[in-house]
């Protein structure tokens, strides 16, 4: 479990945002839980202004919901919200991976392969936090290879809140990683779509879609 402990001086708001994000992903902070700036500032030994800046950053990724002059809470998604986000992510990701198939350089593929290997190690370890981190790292590196910054940002904003709902009961299989990368190398959009469906079948999004709160 990630503890909300003091942080060091450099890039304080970024560090605070990262620690809060990790606490949300690991379930230390629950969906719907109120986040009080003063309480967080005292726990992490930073100013309220720093916490406020960190929460503003997290809001852009849909992890928290802020009500002006009232409160901030961890995002809580209904089953309908989850299904909508899963569908949008799938559609956007097919576009991103098809573009990556055309645009990825040899350097991109070196980094993608390194991310894939990190995911294989995470899957072998069985440690939930490592698995979701590696899954997100691999997917995001593939998105970046598309060269479409807007598409990457949209995918980040669509998929990030879903990781907070994953309980780790199901995990992707190693072979689906290889199938996905092979499809991207092939560059055929239909093959990418089929491979992506298999890869995401037990990823955070799919698990959240079947176990999220009722609408």
CATH of residue 150: 1.20.120.530
Residues 196 and 94 in one domain: yes
**According to the model, what pLDDT value does residue 117 have?**
95
Residues 32 and 108 in one domain: no
Residues 21 and 113 in one domain: no
Ramachandran assignment for 72, one of left (phi > 0), alpha (psi -120 to 50 degrees), beta (any other): beta
Residue with tokens 């593939």: 142
In terms of residue numbers, what domain contains 31? 12-74
> Which of 74, 93, 109 is the C-terminal boundary of a domain?
74
Task: List, run by run, the mean pLDDT of 10-residue segments along the chain (215 residues).
Answer: 58 90 86 92 92 92 84 88 88 96 96 95 84 89 96 92 67 80 94 89 56 42
């Amino acid at each position: 479990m990630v503890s909300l402990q003091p942080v060091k001086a450099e890039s304080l708001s970024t560090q605070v945002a990262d620690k809060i994000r990790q606490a949300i992903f690991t379930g230390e902070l629950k969906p719907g839980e109120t986040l009080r700036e003063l309480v967080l500032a005292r726990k992490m030994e930073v100013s309220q202004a720093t916490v406020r800046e960190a929460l503003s950053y997290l809001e852009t990724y849909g992890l928290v919901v802020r009500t002006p002059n009232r409160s901030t809470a961890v995002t809580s998604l209904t089953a309908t919200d989850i299904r909508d986000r899963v569908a949008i992510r799938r559609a956007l990701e097919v576009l991103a991976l098809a573009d990556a198939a055309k645009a990825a350089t040899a350097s991109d593929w070196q980094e993608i392969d390194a991310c894939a290997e990190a995911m294989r190690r995470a899957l072998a370890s069985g440690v939930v936090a490592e698995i979701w981190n590696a899954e997100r790292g691999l997917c995001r590196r593939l998105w970046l290879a598309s060269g479409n910054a807007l598409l990457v940002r949209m995918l980040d904003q669509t998929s990030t809140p879903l990781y907070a709902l994953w309980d780790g009961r199901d995990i992707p299989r190693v072979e689906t990683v290889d199938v996905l990368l092979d499809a991207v190398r092939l560059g055929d959009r239909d093959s990418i779509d089929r491979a992506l469906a298999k890869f995401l079948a037990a990823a955070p999004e799919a698990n959240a879609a079947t176990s999220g709160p009722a609408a």
